[in-house]
Amino acid sequence: MKLTIFDLDNTILRGDSDYSWIQFLIEKEIVDVKKYKDKNDYFFNQYNQGTLDIYEYSSFAIGSFIEIGKEKISVIFEEYLSSVIEPMINVYALRLIHEHYENNDELLLASATNKILVDIIAKRLDFKNVIATIPETVDGELTGRIIKPAALGEGKLKLVREWMLENNFINFDGTTFYSDSINDLPLLCAVEKAVGVNPDSKLRHECISRGWEIIDLP
């Protein structure tokens, strides 16, 4: 059985789930609008430049869950999934996923986004295997910190390797990884088949120079 790995944001989704979550909260005025908008834009620009401090950003994003509270969060998640995520799902990416299902590949969703959001989206996309940035909890309560490593860059590669060993994949032979972002370069370099999906400018340059496939989805 072959392993196929998909990034989430800007690969399966037409946009970024983490950024869109905060934007959704801002538009609904669930959180302090100015405070969250300024920080969200700041971190989003960092991510696009490949300079994101994932630990600082994750603390910011997870802070929104803490601020909202357990009592309200499930209802807000439902609206976020239906009104924000559902329209962002790229049907052409879904067809690609379906092709790998039909080939009996093992599918793994690997995202730098926090696991609280990714698990909700993964369920909608029917991914059973998920790697994401894991929020830290103490006595069942979020602390606002994350468990290292974050699933970004070398951290994503490390977490994927650990998952593979736990699931009887001894190496990257036959493994394919689809991603849009230069932040995923370590994992793209490790797999047998790297595919840039609507790649950012830096990743597109890497794909061309390394002879990797590029897929530009509508």
Which positions are catalytic?
7, 9
What residues pair up with 13 in beta bridges, in sequence order? 89
Q: Show the tokens assigned to 72.
A: 């309200």
